[in-house]
Amino acid sequence: MPHCTHLSQIKHVKAKTDGCEECLKMGDDWVHLRLCMSCGHVGCCDDSKNKHASKHFHASKHPIIRSIEPGEEWGYCFADDMMFESLPIIP
């Protein structure tokens, strides 16, 4: 069974902004928000026109994101193309 090889890169992070960092700077909007579990960057999802969470991964190589939508706890590893049902924010 495949497993994620990047779980050790999850850190105690706090969202740096209350919305997508880049969209806020551009005055643009987003659909859903994702939190980088390596640095706390907040980016918009791939359903958003700007796809800033994916762009952050490609620029930074930070592999794991978590949904920060209310009621959602899932996560995703870009590098291993693997979803997690539950990936709570580490306090």
CATH number for the domain spanning 17: value is 3.30.40.10
Render pLDDT for 27-52 as a digit per residue (tens, 0 to 9): 999 999 999 999 999 999 999 999 99
- Nearest CA-CA partner of 26 in 56, 59, 54, 49: 49
Element (H or E) spanning 77, and its range? strand 75-77
| Predicted pLDDT of residue 89 | 59
Q: Would residue 58 count as lying in a domain? A: yes
25 in a domain, yes or no?
A: yes
Reference 9, options 60, 70, 67; nearest CA is 60
Q: CA-to-CA distance for 62 and 24, rounded, in angstroms?
A: 21
| pLDDT value of position 88 | 58
Q: Which of 40, 82, 46 is nearest to 62 (CA)?
A: 40
User: Domain range spanning residue 72?
Assistant: 7-84
- Please tell me the predicted confidence (pLDDT) of residue 90: 57
Considering the entire predicted model, what is its pTM?
0.91
The answer as to whether 90 is a domain residue is no
